[in-house]
Structure 1
Amino acid sequence: MTLDLVLIRPEFFLLFGFLVLLWYGTGGLVRPVAEIITVADSNYNKQYSCLGSSLTTTHETEVANESPKISYANERPGGEATSAARFASRPAAFGSLRRPTAGPNHAASALCLWAILWCLLCTVLAFYGPLQSVFLGGSFQKDYYSMQLCGILFFTAAFVLRVSLGWQKTAAIRHTEYVYLAMLALMGQYLFIQTTDLMSMYLCLELQSFSLVVLCGLNYKSAYSIEASMKYFLLSAFRSCLLLLGIGFLYWQTGETTISHIESLVFRTSTEPNLLLLLGIWFVSMGLLWKLAAAPLHFWVPDVYTGAWSSVSLWITVLPKISVLGFWTHNWQNLWNRSFGNTLAFFRILSMIIGALAPLAQTTLKRLLAYSSIGHMGLLLMPLCGSASNSVGALWTHMFIYILINLGTWGLIMAPMTRPNQPSLKAAGPQFIWDLKGLNQSSATAAFRWRVFMTSLAGLPPVYGFLGKAGILWRSLNNGLLITVAVALVYTLLGSVYYLKVMKVCYVDNPTSWGTYGKFSSTTAYIIAICVAFMLIGLWHGNYFFLLTHLLSLKV
């Protein structure tokens, strides 16, 4: 019992941090809102009285014979109003004389900064945790592999929150529950990496799924956001039914929910597994592949990416993939391979086909990136073939490079764009591909960043994205997957068409209406610049990164 309490100190820290965020955002003692304070200043009062007297002399001549009476809210019985009430009732008159304020003016951003600090502390706690063991009745396991992935998960979450922080202010998002829901989803993903039991796996999946459903629908004024939330909820409910049915079949046949016990009972006996057992493994695997957005379980992805906020789309793009792939490679890989062998080839080939053909007809950037993520999922499934013991390093190399590319690309989408002919869309970033027309003439630096990230997504040299794709193809060739490698090469050829289309729009097309990037958040600009630097120098100095992922794969 004492050892369990020591082992789950990161979980206690997560719960404590979540309660602090919740109390800070909704408590009565400290509220993350601007509070009006009173300052005794004679010059300020003189300006206030002059402004008040001038207000009484600026009325129209049609009421010249009457003495204008200005009423204020919260007037005292003697007819006088408090100064705070006068300022509240006459914002136009006192627009240049605002009272001093104390506290953060943007509640969601204040909570987001605390959440970023919380994620960074959890990163250190996960990387340098000295104790490794099972806990909570064997439902969860801490070892080197899972804790390193948890540290990477928290570190990535901190960067995702920081990239979206400036966008929240620009888009005037004041939903404090955004941070709570994002942290709840992160906690589910963190526990999901460590789980070794089917029921705890289901609970962790549902924790993150329910949080992401609400996050997709927070922009309730948009019909697209409501559509994204409903589709994600309904299809997630169908996935949960399949998952529970598969868990029920496995428990019916083995009487166990621990994955290692099921593997021992099924595949270390002389008899072959029966149909119900195979169906149970298949249904559970379908639930995991749905979460990874692998074709043909991908139908929710384009609409959810388009309707949800860009920060939520970035969250769905990156973090669930880390948790599900970590769980699959750690606990589920042997069970799947012993049951169905190389059947996963169907999902990865179909994902690459859809990722190559579907984006050719897209006009919006978010749907383009949605189908691009499906195609990249086909690449990430390639190392999960056969034993895949020598391919896990290639998988995580490409996954980490994919994270860097998405941080930079979605950061450019969330950056404010100024459109002189559409002042109402000033706060919105580029939504359509043609929004980038003539970008090289108005902002050459932004156009260069788009070129680097699109080349990286296509997997073409001389940028870092080529290294991740080349590593996966090389490992697949060593495993004898010649057909899959041929499909991947055709996918790369066709995928280069729509990535090059974005670059053509930036550099070649003449704009019919001008649009250029506005003022970036400083930290977001630094993160995008760092991602660009990694893409440019990583191909020539990638040995250290390859060594890290190789050492990580040895701990599976």
Structure 2
Amino acid sequence: MNLDLTTTGDLARALLPELTLTTAGLLVLLVTAWRHTSARDLRIASWVTLAGLAAGGAAVWWLWWHTARSAGPPSMIAVDDFRFVTDALFLTAAGLTVLVSFDYLEREGLLVPEYYVLLLFATLGMMLMAGGEDLMVVFLGLELMSVSVYVLAGINRKSGAAAEAALKYFLLGAFASGFLLYGIALVYGATATTNLTQIAAQVRSLSLAQSPMLLIGLGLLLVGFGFKVAAVPFHMWAPDVYDGAPTPVTGYMATAVKAAAFAALVRVLLEGFGDVAAWRPIVWWLAVATMVVGNVIALAQRRVKRMLAYSSIAHAGYLLVAVAAGMGPGSAALLVYLLAYTLVTLAAFALLAAKGRDDEREVRIDDLAGLGHRRPWLALALAVCMLSLLGFPGTAGFIGKWYILVAATLMHQTVLAAILVLTSVVSAGYYLPVIMAMYMKPEPFDQAHAGVHIGRAAGLVVAACVVGLLVLGIRPNGLLDLARTSAIVVPAPTPAATATGR
């Protein structure tokens, strides 16, 4: 099905998932304005949210099933499999976050139905980011997502840590958005367009690959995206924000928000700046610094939530290796890793929310001692999560890292691949102690009656994610085929560009 996005009807069809989610967000807003005083009202809002996410997923599936593609002149929104796969990922992450939040919000006394409105609009922003063929659409989607997540991070008004996290995220996020917007302005000044396809055409036809204005603009874009993906040295906000935000929100930020930023980054770099060689060494060094710093600092963490925050930074480094690989293999590896990372991280934070009742920030690795004897199934689930994050064979995390290694090797990034392997070995120093504490340390006397409170919905999320990790780790062929067919493939540089070294 070819869609002419210059016509209103076809544009509406192309934007059907986004329009569906917008409608769902407005509907939940009306529901929460009418009923917002009891736990039952909160449940109603959550079920309406799930229905809206399901409807958005059905819209994505409809476009995907009909093999929708854009026809005609360059448009502001992409209609391709990469967009459909990432949209499905965002909707899945949001749905799982809603299920984890069911019991968490009630248990913590957070009767805030607007939580679900913000979750819907944050997901809408992510979909616009990943599908944007125009820098302005990407920026608008990023701001819609960011503003919603700023509020979600501080949704617990009783927590000083949450307020601190929200303020830090807001101030630094606004600063990063300024860099991004200024970069867009400079790119527009150099190319007279913000459309990615037209930017690439202008770079080739006008030989702009060495234009100072374009290169400065591209550098500022990398700074803005570097903040959103928590790449070193733009990562300083992440540990404190992840540590202070409500645990389900932290899981959502570490997965869906990161995935949206990477999806937008890889589309912008490959489709708009594929002929500009200057960004590749920058991404190379960002990947190295992020892998090394994230893993080394994580070794010193004793609080589980903060350890996972630095672990998230390290995984951003692995994803940057896929971005540096570029072309088809790199973007395919990015999709595989994002799916595996989303499943394992959401499951890990769901388990942490269950263990960390009342003050989840203080759950230390030693607090998990004896969990393997007291709650064997939950301990097994957390152990699988740690092994998948480590990249242990038989889990989806291993498949994700292996595919990134293959992509990096194919694109002659062997040094990056070697650093990825070495830093993954280092990560065993903070993942394995979690497993050792659960199974090899005696339970402290004062923890003998400490409860692990996991609701039915959160338990279902954990079970589904763990099963998914194992199935994808053992039978990954379907996932790999999907990633290959959904990868972003850009044309090779023109002979003229190659001759001039671009």
Could you tell me how far apart the structure 2 residues matched to 1:165 and 1:210 are?
23
Out of 40, 48, 61, the residue aligned to residue 114 of structure 1 is 48
AA aligned to 1:252 is: G
Amino acid at match of 1:275: P
Asked whether the equivalents of residues 74 and 197 of structure 2 are also in contact (C-alpha less than 8 Å), the reply is no
Unaligned runs of 5+ in 1: 35-104, 418-424
Q: Following TM superposition, by how much is the alpha carbon of 1:349 offset from its aligned partner in structure 2, in angstroms?
A: 0.6
State the match for 1:239 in structure 2.
176
Please say if 1:443 is aligned against 2:378.
no
Equivalent in the alignment of 1:150: 87
Q: Which piece of structure 1 moves more, 195-204 or 510-519?
A: 510-519
Q: Is the 8 A contact 1:140 1:195 kept in 2?
A: yes
Query: TM-score scaled to structure 2, two decimals?
Result: 0.89
Tell me which of the two structures has the higher relative contact order, counting C-alpha pairs closer than 8 angstroms and 6 or more residues apart. 2
The one-letter code sitting in structure 1 at the alignment partner of 2:419 is V
C-alpha separation in 1, matches of 2:363 and 2:306: 10
Q: 1:391 — aligned with what? A: 330
Deviation by residue 1:448-470 (Cα, 9 ceiling, x = unmatched): 22211111111122433212112
1:480 aligns with 2:487: no
CA contact (8 A) 2:395 2:470 kept: yes
Match of 1:466 among 378, 398, 404: 398
Shift in Å, 1:158? 0.9
Which aligned pairs between 1:473-552 and structure 2 lie closer than 5 A? 473-512=405-444, 513-515=446-448, 516-552=450-486
Q: Show CA shifts across 1:51-72 (max 9, x none).
A: xxxxxxxxxxxxxxxxxxxxxx
Q: Residue 461 of structure 1 aligns to which amino acid in structure 2? A: P
* CA shift in 2, pair 1:283/1:554, >3 Å: closer
- Segment of structure 1 superposing worse, 443-452 or 359-368: 443-452
Distance verdict in 2 for CA 1:12–1:270, change over 3 Å: closer
How much has 1:4 moved relative to structure 2? 3.1
Q: Between the two proteins, what is the percent identity of the paired residues?
A: 26
For residues 504 and 11 of structure 1, do their structure 2 counterparts lie closer, same or farther at Cα, with a shift above 3 Å needed? closer
- Contact conserved, 1:416 with 1:427, CA < 8 A, in 2? no
Q: Do 1:451 and 1:503's aligned partners in 2 also have CA atoms closer than 8 Å?
A: yes
Aligned partner of 2:431: which letter? Y
Report the CA distance between 1:544 and its aligned residue.
Answer: 1.9
How far does residue 413 in structure 1 lie from its aligned partner after superposition?
0.8
Alignment of 1:349-368 (within 5 A): 349-368=288-307
Partner Cα distance (1:319, 1:197) in 2:
21
8 Å CA contact 2:328, 2:484 repeated in 1: no
Q: Does 1:411 align with 2:350?
A: yes
Match of 2:317 in 1: 378
**Could you list the per-position Cα deviations for residues 282-341 of structure 1 after superposition, in whole angstroms to 9, with x for gaps in the alignment?**
101221121111111111100000111011111111112222222233343254453313
Q: Name the counterpart of 1:420.
A: none
Between the aligned partners of 1:452 and 1:271, the Cα distance in structure 2 is 49
- The separation in 1 between residues aligned to 2:384 and 2:98, in whole angstroms, is 23
C-alpha distance 241-188 of structure 1, shift in aligned 2 (>3 A): same
Distance 2:187 2:91 in 1: 32
Q: Go from structure 1 to structure 2 and tell me whether the alpha carbon gap of 1:316 and 1:270 turns closer, same or farther (over 3 Å shift).
A: closer
CA offsets 1:203-247 (integer angstroms, 9 cap, x no match) = 211111111111111222222111111110111111011112111
For 2:204, give the aligned amino acid.
F
Report how far residue 23 of structure 1 moved: 1.1
Structure 2 residue corresponding to 1:199, chosen from 130, 136, 142: 136
Aligned residue for 1:141, secondary structure, equals coil
Q: Check whether the contact 1:239–1:287 (CA below 8 A) recurs between aligned residues.
A: yes
Instruction: State the alpha-carbon separation in 1 of the partners of residues 172 and 46 from structure 2.
Output: 29
- Aligned with residue 19 of structure 2, among 12, 15, 25: 12
Q: 1:416 offset after TM fit, Å?
A: 5.0
> Normalization by structure 1: what TM-score?
0.80
Could you tell me how far 1:431 is from its partner in structure 2? Answer: 2.0
- Aligned partners of 1:136, 1:223: CA distance in 2, in Å? 51
Give the structure 2 partner of residue 223 of structure 1.
160
| 2:111 maps to 1:174 | yes
AA matched with 2:284: A
Q: Equivalent of 2:263, from 326, 334, 354?
A: 326
In 1, Cα distance between equivalents of 2:86 and 2:244 = 30
AA paired with 1:274?
S
Answer whether contact 1:352 1:491 (CA < 8 A) is retained. Answer: yes
What is the CA distance between 1:432 and its match in structure 2?
A: 1.9
Q: How does 1:119-138 map to 2 (within 5 A)?
A: 119-129=53-63, 130=66, 131-133=68-70, 138=75
Structure number with higher helix proportion: 2
Distance 1:506 1:135, change over 3 A: farther
Distance 1:126 1:415 in 2: 32
Taking a change above 3 Å as real, the CA distance of residues 386 and 505 of structure 1, as seen in their structure-2 partners, is: closer
1:262 counterpart residue number: 199
- Alpha-carbon distance in 2 for matches of 1:346, 1:487: 11
Instruction: State whether structure 2 residue 242 is matched by structure 1 residue 310.
Output: no
User: Which among 169, 178, 187 is matched to residue 250 of structure 1?
Assistant: 187
Q: Is the 8 A contact 1:438 1:514 kept in 2?
A: no
CA distance in 2, matches of 1:120, 1:408: 20
SS at 1:133 equivalent: strand
Contact 2:197–2:271 under 8 Å retained in 1: no
Name the amino acid aligned to 1:487: I
Residue pair 1:414, 1:429 contacting (<8 A) in 2 also = no
Separation (CA, whole Å) in 1 of partners of 2:220 and 2:167: 23
- How far did residue 517 of structure 1 move? 4.1
Larger Rg: 1
Taking the aligned partners of 1:387 and 1:407, their CA distance within structure 2 comes to: 27
